[in-house]
Structure 1
């Protein structure tokens, strides 16, 4: 799984999962919560043609599906596709995996997640055993979960069950640093993919009583990518122009100390404003 063009000149490709597959630091995702037709097809096509090899996929993402299945079989096998299930027991999970493989025309799924895990009941033993079986049978390379529950994520990490964690981390929500990152064993690091880098676009807007400049959109993605334990982060741009502009800024590489301090201070101010409302779960990073 190799990126064919150096569009991430400021960030190296990173190893992800049990096999250490090299992935681009930015992965493309679809828009959630009623916006399944976005991003448009040409965004995914441009990303594929310019070396992005990490994708967050679920069946409603029709534009992404089209861009993937029209690739030659060998090219499809080089992508690191993350998908998952948010309900169902062992049989339902297995059936969905078979459906995923058939839909995407691939032989195995690089990563299977349990989506939006909110309690330990979702990671009970029969579920875990089925995930491990699917991995052992070669139907997926890695298993993992996504959750907002940082304490539970750390507890599951200590049990050495999951290969990849999908977790919220941005300038306004930094609890992952003390609740998860600071507790990791540097000799046994999991793959970590973060989401909501722009906090549902709230970090792109001026909070009250803030008279300084705003961070650039690309800087909000540089923030998680600058953390040593973050492998990649998701982006769901609204069009090719947004994607290109973000990548140009991301290519500047890790945040400088003064940039990091500024974004953290800005993130604190946004968090204090308590302005909520989810418009796009995977970050449709509008620049306007």
Structure 2
């Protein structure tokens, strides 16, 4: 593969990946997963929705190519005791001995020490190599970034939701964690002609991936391809390379219009009801970051 982006190091982690990965939840056929690997993609996300054909392809590829693959396994476990069993079940399904990254899913507030200590123990025992945390609440990310047990962060970032540029990226202390982004097309809204201003070109998925990867704070992003043509659009982003300043300005104009048309706030100042329910399940009660004592 003649990618314009070379493999990148994921922040604190010593893992190197081609900066565009493939997620499991969108019904991408297994043969296309294998084709992505043949084109050089080495970053795979076994996440919330675990499609059997995707998993079977990862399993086949890993038989001969495990050291070339970087596999992220997500766990929503809410107790230290259950994280290990959650990871082991996923590893068994994929026929793997370890995960390159254990992703602790949907922690709007920093996970309890028992959670992070359990994850760190799995790393010590070789069941995972690194730990990543996903979050839906931008003010929490700088706190997560300071924890030495966390190697990488997963955050929503796209042209319609660029708030991380103000709320997250400038506030990450050294050593910086790896940053992996998702929802790159804003659920397809950035591709919708009806939401794009007259006279502006409608972005393609390729444009959306290039926009995210052109930010120097972003190490990699996930592609949610569901068929061969959508995978081609993702792979084209690797070949095309970073956007020019004119292209970035165009994407930002479109992003503002899409955000305005869909009623999305530029800056998140609080959590929605679903996020607070997740915090309740996670043992924090019905609270947001602003409810916690200042450090």
TM-score by length of 1: 0.85
Partner of 2:223: 235
Distance 2:184 2:23 in 1: 13
Q: Spell out the pairing of 1:191-230 with structure 2 (5 A cutoff).
A: 191-208=178-195, 210-211=197-198, 212-230=200-218
> Cα offset for 1:87?
2.9
Report the counterpart of residue 155 of structure 1 in structure 2.
143
Distance 1:273 1:21, change over 3 A: same
Instruction: Confirm or deny that 1:45 pairs with 2:34.
Output: yes
Specify which of 91, 101, 113 is matched with residue 81 of structure 2: 91
Q: Report if the CA contact (8 A) 1:13-1:25 is conserved.
A: yes
Equivalent residue number for residue 286 of structure 1: none
Number of corresponding residues: 262
- The answer to whether the 8 Å contact 2:12/2:176 transfers is no
Shift of residue 72 of structure 1?
5.1
Q: Decide whether aligned partners of structure 1 residues 250 and 214 sit closer, same or farther in structure 2, where only a CA change above 3 A counts.
A: farther
Structure 1 CA distance for aligned equivalents of residues 114 and 245 of structure 2: 46
Task: Output the TM-score relative to the length of structure 2.
Answer: 0.83
Alpha-carbon distance in 1 for matches of 2:132, 2:233: 31
Q: 1:177 to 1:209 in 2, by over 3 A?
A: closer
Higher helix share: 2
Q: Which deviates more from structure 2 when the two are superposed, residues 202-211 or residues 144-153? A: 202-211
What are the Cα deviations for residues 196-225 of structure 1, in whole angstroms up to 9, with x where unaligned? 000000000024571121122201100110
- CA distance in 1: counterparts of 2:216 and 2:243, whole angstroms: 12
Work out the CA distance in 2 between the residues paired with 1:23 and 1:209: 33
Distance across 2 between alignment mates of 1:172 and 1:93: 34
Structure 1 gaps of 5+ residues are 277-288
Indicate the SS of the match to 2:161.
coil
Q: Deviations over 1:52-82 (max 9, x none)?
A: 1000014722111110112353412321111
Match of 1:27 among 4, 21, 25: 21
| C-alpha deviation, 1:15, in angstroms | 1.2
Written as runs of structure 1 = structure 2, the 5 A alignment for 1:3-82 is: 5-6=1-2, 8=3, 10-16=4-10, 18=12, 20-31=14-25, 38-58=27-47, 60-71=50-61, 73-82=63-72
Query: What stretches of structure 2 of length at least 5 have no aligned partner?
Result: 265-295
Q: CA RMSD in A?
A: 1.9
1:251 counterpart (236, 239, 252): 239
Residues in 2 aligned to 1:267 and 1:20: alpha-carbon distance in whole angstroms: 33
Retained in 2: the 8 A contact 1:53–1:80?
A: yes
